[in-house]
């Protein structure tokens, strides 16, 4: 008998508040330091001067966070998952893909107002402007690759395959993040702030996806 998604992926008691609270608290702290031009910002600027070294490799890595690259990857994953759910006879088969798509749409809705609110200047490697915190490219990479991974994991039958998928997701996100900092497109805190913000979003999806199917119907393989 297949294991239901609710049984298979239920969060341990008390884990969900931590998944939300810790990154949310860190994001609030970083945002406060950026707005107040606190000591963390000065440390961030010194670290950036050490890390920035624009080259072709860093530019290509930064492109992993482009909408034109990350969103099509997510779209392919959503299409695959929707078809598999439908063929398996899962109730509300379209909801996991719809939830991930909504999460992707929330990225600019959240990031753009925050950029306007903080009005952080860019690094010396980019033309003078404001609105660099948090990093939109990092947020796009984290949500697109993260959502794709969360939805595909239950359909992979072996532990090595699941580990490989998670490793690929981490490599893509870290690659994009490193490229953005190395190229000078963003300060390190811009990237870390986006990590924190998007961890909250992905935690919401991780909690929501097991609840959108009805127990007792055909479910994805055990993850």
pLDDT tens digits, one per residue of 93-142: 899 999 999 999 999 999 999 999 999 999 999 999 999 999 999 999 99
pTM of the model: 0.88
∠20-21-24 over CA atoms, to 5°? 85
- Cα–Cα dist 10/12, whole Å: 6
- In this prediction, residue 210 carries a pLDDT of 67
pLDDT of residue 223: 44
Cα–Cα distance measured from residue 222 to residue 4, given in angstroms and rounded to the nearest whole number: 8
Q: Compute the Cα dihedral for 57, 151, 98, 107 and give only its sign.
A: negative
pLDDT of residue 13: 44
Is the CB of residue 221 less than 8 Å from the CB of residue 154? yes
Per-residue model confidence (pLDDT) at position 209: 73
Q: Which residues of the chain have pLDDT under 50?
A: 1-10, 12-13, 213-218, 223
pLDDT at 215: 41
The per-residue pLDDT for 16 is: 62
């Amino acid at each position: 008998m297949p294991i239901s998604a609710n049984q298979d992926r239920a969060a341990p008691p008390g884990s969900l508040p931590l998944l939300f609270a810790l990154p949310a608290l860190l994001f609030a702290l970083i945002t406060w330091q950026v707005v107040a031009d606190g000591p963390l910002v000065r440390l961030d600027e010194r670290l950036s001067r050490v890390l920035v070294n624009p080259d072709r490799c860093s530019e290509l890595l930064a492109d992993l966070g482009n909408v034109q690259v990350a969103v099509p990857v997510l779209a392919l994953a959503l299409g695959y998952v929707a078809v598999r759910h439908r063929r398996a006879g899962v109730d509300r088969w379209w909801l996991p893909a719809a939830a991930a798509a909504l999460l992707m749409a929330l990225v600019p809705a959240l990031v753009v107002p925050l950029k306007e609110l903080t009005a952080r200047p860019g690094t010396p490697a980019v033309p003078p402007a404001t609105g660099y915190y948090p990093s939109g490219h990092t947020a796009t990479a984290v949500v697109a690759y993260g959502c794709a991974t969360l939805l595909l994991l239950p359909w992979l039958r072996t532990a090595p395959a699941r580990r490989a998928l998670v490793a690929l997701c981490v490599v893509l996100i870290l690659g994009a993040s490193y490229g953005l900092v190395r190229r000078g497109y963003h300060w390190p805190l811009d990237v870390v702030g986006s990590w924190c913000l998007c961890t909250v979003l992905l935690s919401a999806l991780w909690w929501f996806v097991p609840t959108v199917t009805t127990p007792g119907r055909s479910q994805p393989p055990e993850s």
